[in-house]
Amino acid sequence: HRHLLGIEHLSPTDIAAVLDRADTFATTPDSRAVRRDSLSGLTQINMFFENSTRTQASFEIAGKRLGADVMNMAMQASSIKKGETLIDTALTLNAMHPDLLVVRHPNSGAVALLAQKVNCAVINAGDGRHEHPTQALLDALTIRRRKGRLQRLTVAICGDIAHSRVARSNIMLLGKMENRVRLVGPKTLMPPGIEKFGVEVTDDMAAGLKDADVVMMLRLQRERMDGGFIPSEREYYHRFGLDAAKLAHAKPDAIVMHPGPMNRGVEIDGEIADDINRSVIQEQVEMGVAVRMAVLELLGEGRG
Ligand code: CP
């Protein structure tokens, strides 16, 4: 593959190859960060047209740990503000001969469009409500390390499914690896026709979490709700927020995940998020660096 635009384009073998490579970055006997010079001499540009904490920081750290020259474009301060289009901005950066372009954009499909116009490898760091492939890969690595496998697991993905690129990428990845996926959330936040992806759908947390191995919580994406139905936080937490009573329906050793950013007391009880026996939220962030190192290295190979 030249680009990483979505999980949609990956085979189970591709997914396993990324996770196996990422494992080598995640494990050291003395738990110190792995460093290599495999991207030495390559230029990586991060272009984030939407806010990010985890994804942008981890792509920057990942590139630097592999020896790349990493530049973060400050999009708020760029000529986009003067009316330059996405494609013209991309062509301008392309003329500086980057090797790797990491792009986040609020419009679904914008990253794939941009990839057609440039000569370098393009990585989708989240496009609208479409895909966030490195998030699904880091979730998969976290699950595989905690559960010892990435097959035949029951995974409940809960909350605002309709607006979530994280949910879409996870549904595809977990389905390709032959897991059972349940989507749990209000009917108004469930994308129509999602059952065709082979998932089960319910608006009842007890039924959705029953005997789950993994419980993945999602944020209400208010910025994508453009005037539509927005539930009150109190009512939402009561019916769909993950608390101890609802988590009791899952398997006793079920892990709790959240891609972040998290809203405590809305989709998840703060105590559960902080419970080191159940929550793997910080481990997901840690695996994010390892997965992004693997993706950058795999796409950067041969470009030096
Ligand atoms: N999970 C995730 O994409 O977080 P950021 O928006 O902080 O990058």
Q: What is the pLDDT of residues 200-227, one digit of tens each?
A: 999 999 999 999 999 999 999 888 887 6
Predicted confidence at residue 190, as pLDDT, reads 96
| Residue 49 scores a pLDDT above 70 | yes
pLDDT at 225: 84
Tell whether ligand 1 has an atom less than 6 A from the beta carbon of residue 261: yes
**In sequence order, what DSSP letters do the residues of the chain get, joined into one string?**
---B--GGG--HHHHHHHHHHHHHHH--TT-PPP---TTTT-EEEEEESS--SHHHHHHHHHHHHTT-EEEEE-GGGSGGGGT--HHHHHHHHHTT--SEEEEEESSTTHHHHHHTT-SSEEEEEEETTTB-HHHHHHHHHHHHHHHS-SSS-EEEEES--TT-HHHHHHHHHHHHTT-EEEEES-GGGS-TTGGGGS-EEES-HHHHHTT-SEEEE----GGG-TTS----HHHHHHHHSB-HHHHTTS-TT-EEE--S---BTTTB-HHHHH-TTTB-HHHHHHHHHHHHHHHHHHHHTT--
Give residue 166's pLDDT: 98
From the CB of 135, is ligand 1 less than 6 Å away? yes
Q: Is pLDDT at 74 greater than 90 in this prediction?
A: no
- pLDDT single digits (tens) 245-290: 999 999 999 999 999 999 999 999 999 999 999 999 999 999 999 9
Residue 231 has pLDDT above 80, yes or no: no
Residues annotated as binding site? 54-55, 82, 104, 132, 135, 165, 219, 260-261
Question: Is 126 a residue whose pLDDT tops 70?
Answer: yes
Binding site feature residues for carbamoyl phosphate = 54-55, 104, 132, 135, 260-261
Q: What size, in residues, is the chain? A: 304
Cβ atoms of 198 and 204 closer than 8 Å: no
Q: What would the pLDDT profile of 142-197 be if each residue is shown by its tens digit? A: 999 999 999 999 999 999 999 999 999 999 999 999 999 999 999 999 999 999 99
Query: Poorest-confidence range of 108-112, 186-190, 227-231?
Result: 227-231
Distances (CA, A) of 213 to 96, 124, 174: 47, 28, 13
Q: Could you report the predicted ipTM of this complex, rounded to two decimals?
A: 0.97
Confidence of residue 75 (pLDDT cuts 50, 70, 90): confident
Task: Find the 99 Cα to ligand 1 centroid distance in Å.
Answer: 23
